[in-house]
Homo-oligomer: A and B are copies of this chain.
Amino acid sequence: MSTPSIYLQMISTVNESGELRLELVEKPVPVPDADQVLVRIEAAPINPSDQGVMFGWADISAAVSSGAGQHKVLSAPVSEQGMRVMKARMGQALPVGNEGAGTVVATGSGGLAKSLEGKIVAVMGGSMYAQYRCVDAASCLPLLEGHSAKDGASCFVNPLTALSMVETMKMEGHSALVHTAAASNLGQMLVRICQADEVELVNIVRKEEQAALLRDMGAKYVVNTSSDNFMAELTDAIHATGATLAFDATGGGTLASNILACMEAAAARTPGAYSIYGSVKHKQVYLYGNLDTSATVLQRAYGMAWGVGGWLLPNFLAKAGMDVAARLRARVARELKTTFVSHYTNEISLEEALDADTVRQYYAKHTGEKFLICPQK
């Protein structure tokens, strides 16, 4: 198969007139430097984190598509508030797609680069919603024999995030975890990791069908926010596991505060001297997602030893260091079809990803639905 001289890449732009545009642009196929490889991207997932860059604060309910084929353009209006928040990206054409996988079709002259010739590799680093991507050979994760690009498309964001939650737990002196939006693709990975590593995990979901799904996987602690006894049930599960660290994908509302309140109530079950400042052990909730964009509301009825904050995979990996990152990557490649298996409900082309109705479908982020972009389709 010969490599073309031009490829298509998806970019997102917010312009001064209050419009977000998502479109395909033609780029010259680059020639790899000595330590680089050229990857023909064959599969790239649409993660919530990709959609942050793709759509920002645009009003997707009012999005429309125009044009056809590679000239299709998605356009969506942006409110005044959205324009203020996105001021820093105004006019910049941002390439999208955090991760993907494909075949190495050209390499530089370096040893590592040449060793990847013809291999199927997973890659992270942006600009993945494209037909080709030139990357450093060292950043590639070669898949095991027999694994396809579709198998390896989601090697990084969800698997490394789930693994890094457990690493964070260990690094910061906690011994069990609470996870919200726990029936998600990432949540299911975390259930499997915690089962394998014998880490106690409290799964919080919103619906009974999600609870059933996790229980079928063997999850021991599943708590449903729609239960009338949610707070009591969560306190029981936290008391049973001793969890003092939670990862919350929703971000907004009172869920983080409620988790802290239940951690404090669980701690108070252990008899000890009363202190107006609450329990001494630090209780932490990290907000790693933004499914609920409303304000985070903290009731602060859980003493003084607590924290809430943003959590971001690249920031964690930078702090944890290269050795930890390499260990986690190797585990992902090894357990790609088991612990880290992803299920895609829809496979779409770059052009289909710009169709307004399709966009609204994946923008809704329904549990169990996951879209895969196949740029060669």
Q: Which residues of A contact B (CB under 8 A)?
A: 52-53, 56, 85, 88-89, 92, 94, 251-252, 257, 268, 274, 276-277, 280, 284, 287-288, 290, 295-301, 303-312, 314-315
Contacts and interface: CB of A to CB of B under 8 A. Distances in A.
B297 A85 contact: no
Given A92-B274, A309-B309, A304 B296 contact: no
Nearest to A309: B307
A137 to B, nearest CB: 23
Given A284-B309, A304-B312, A307-B310, 14 more contacts: A88-B268, A88-B274, A94-B274, A251-B300, A252-B300, A277-B312, A287-B300, A288-B304, A295-B300, A298-B298, A306-B310, A307-B309, A308-B309, A309-B309
A300 B307 contact: no
Main secondary structure of the interface of A (DSSP, over half): mixed
17 contacts: A85-B301, A92-B274, A252-B300, A257-B295, A277-B312, A284-B309, A288-B304, A295-B298, A295-B300, A296-B297, A297-B298, A298-B308, A305-B310, A305-B315, A307-B308, A308-B308, A308-B309
Given A300-B287, A304-B310, A308-B309, A274 B89 contact: yes
A88 B306 CA distance: 19
Contacts of A252: 300
Contacts of A311: 304
A207 to B, nearest CB: 25
Contacts of A307: 307-310
Closest 5 CB pairs of A and B: A307-B309, A304-B310, A304-B312, A296-B298, A89-B274
A310 B304 CA distance: 4
B276 A315 contact: no
Contacts of A308: 298, 307-309
Contacts of A89: 274, 276
Contact of A290 (B56, B300, B306): B300
Nearest to A296: B298
A301 B86 CA distance: 10
A260 B125 CA distance: 28
A328 B94 CA distance: 50
Nearest to A303: B310
A218 B272 CA distance: 46
Contact of A280 (B56, B277, B280, B315): B315
